[in-house]
Amino acid sequence: MFQFIGRALGLLTYPLLQAADVLTFKATAVPVGEDQSQHLNLLGGLAYAFNKTYNTEIFPIPKQLTRESHARIRSSTKSCWKTAKRLVRLRRKI
């Protein structure tokens, strides 16, 4: 049960930790994959809310940098495969 709670908590806190990291360094552009775009939307919302609440421009609202060739990480052995799910299935069979 604790392992499940730990995983769920990690999924909830990861976007906030990522936002805190980017805001700490005052990044104006963040290179992320397309699966991280929702996290970047949260980050922009947090920066905007802080700046508006305290009437400052402390945190810049970062822009997302996504190259089409790097949008999704592919398998190193078969470039047509997506990495995560298919490799996990193959490891189970081995």
In a domain, 55, yes or no: yes
In a domain, 84, yes or no: no
User: Residue 30 has which token pair?
Assistant: 């963040």
- Predicted local distance difference test score (pLDDT) of residue 70: 60
With 0.75 as the threshold, say if the pTM is over it: no
In a domain, 87, yes or no: no
Q: How many domains does the chain have?
A: 1
In a domain, 80, yes or no: no
In a domain, 81, yes or no: no
Give the tens place of pLDDT for each residue, 1-16: 556 666 677 777 888 8
DSSP string of 1-53, one letter each residue: -HHHHHHHHHHHHHHHHHHHHHHHTT-SEEE--GGGHHHHHHHHHHHHHHHHH
In a domain, 93, yes or no: no
In a domain, 30, yes or no: yes
Give the tens place of pLDDT for each residue, 29-87: 998 888 888 889 999 999 999 999 999 999 999 999 887 766 666 556 655 555 555 55
- Predicted local distance difference test score (pLDDT) of residue 15: 87
